[in-house]
Amino acid sequence: MKVLHFYKTYFPETIGGVEQVIYQIARGVSIYSIDTEVLTLAQESSKKPLVLENHLIYQAKCDVQIASTGFSRAALFRFMELAKQVDIIHYHFPWPFMDIVHFLSSVKKPTVLTYHSDIIRQKFLLTIYRPLMKFFLNRVDAIVATSPNYLATSQVLDGYRGKTEVIPIGIDKNTYPQVTSAKLNYWRNQIGEGFFLFVGMLRYYKGLHILLDALKDTNFSVVIVGSGPIEHSLKHHAKSLKLRNIHFLGTLPNEDKVALIQLSLAMVFPSHLRSEAFGISLLEGAMYGKPMISSEIGTGTSYINIHNETGLVVPPSDPTAFRKAMEFLWNSPDIARAMGGKAEARYWQLFTGKHMARSYAHLYQRLCTP
């Protein structure tokens, strides 16, 4: 069986949560004799496919970006060519150009759509896009929600429950590097240990301004790993609050990231909008036995992090509540360690790459069975 994933970004040109999901699926389903190809947009089209471990990546030049939506004439024609050669088309939502390509290419193959997030910010454009979106969602054969929480709270998915199932995002710990003692010592000397850690893209919905406000007049040590469009404004905000124990480290290689997770006290994840549909860095923290602090936004973050079990869940956009949660873990190291142990156990029970790959393989096989 051969599957074609279609999404606006992918490795190696970009690094993000959806990219990680596609990679983990492609890597995991190979044991079920399922081959994977990925079609994505890039700055330039690739004449030959790139090879990433066990799957191929086709890159089509992005012609224009409108409201974070890439459009590509080359992608349309490449999709039409590749779709003829595969058994399953796997879409990743949202990306309005993808809907257009689906209809223009007159796809006749079974289709799976992983629903990563509602459209939150572009409310005006959503009113224009909504008819096409509904038409597209009506036509795909199967929809996958990444957590029961998101399925329960998405008004869009509520209209497609008959063909929607939940397959939680999973990650394979074997794809993460073993950290050397030298690397641990390096960061221990640079930062120390027992700090609060955030890992992720610095975007508006990550709620990092809430985290900074929570830190005012505290002595907590906080490390922020990642870069993004609001990085400059966050640093300016931290300076205005006179925060001294905060470290903006930018984007780091995986070994450094894992070293910092291992040295941390807890993962902090203040995302306050539903654009944060899951939270893979929370999952990474759980995988390494770390307790978490997150906000209740009705998405997968509260499926990973169970309040008073694997960490603490606080109301969104509430710096005072976030500070109190940090104080609790800071002052209760034994409880923090116990929560981290339960977080790791939950990872092994629900969120491994093998769990996710097996579920998608079974879904693919059902759709291909007459």
Share of the chain above pLDDT 90, in %: 93
Instruction: Report the run of H or E that residue 247 belongs to, with start and end.
Output: strand 246-250
Which CATH number applies to 173-350: 3.30.300.20, 3.20.20.120, 3.40.50.2000, 1.10.8.10? 3.40.50.2000
Looking at residue 162, what is its pLDDT?
A: 95
What does the block give as tokens for 37?
């190809």
Running DSSP on this structure, what letter comes out for residue 144? E
pLDDT in tens, 196-236: 999 999 999 999 999 999 999 999 999 999 999 999 999 99
Per-residue pLDDT at 10: 96
Kindly list the distances between the CA atom of residue 254 and the CA atoms of 4, 22, 176, 251, 337, in Å, as whole numbers in the listed order: 27, 18, 7, 9, 23
Equal fold, 2-171+352-368 vs 173-350: yes
Q: Per residue in 225-261, pLDDT tens?
A: 999 999 999 999 999 999 989 999 999 999 999 999 9
Give the mean pLDDT per block of 10 residues along the chain (370 residues).
Answer: 97 92 97 98 93 96 91 97 97 96 95 94 82 96 97 96 97 96 98 97 96 96 96 97 95 97 98 94 98 97 98 98 98 98 98 98 94
Q: What is the pLDDT of residue 68?
A: 81
**pLDDT at residue number 283:** 97
Q: Where are the chain's structural domains?
A: 2-171+352-368, 173-350
Tokens read off for 12: 């190696």
How far is residue 1 from each of residues 4, 85, 89, 307, measured CA to CA in Å?
A: 10, 10, 11, 41
Report pLDDT for 240.
Answer: 97
Domain range 2-171+352-368, CATH architecture: 3-Layer(aba) Sandwich (3.40)
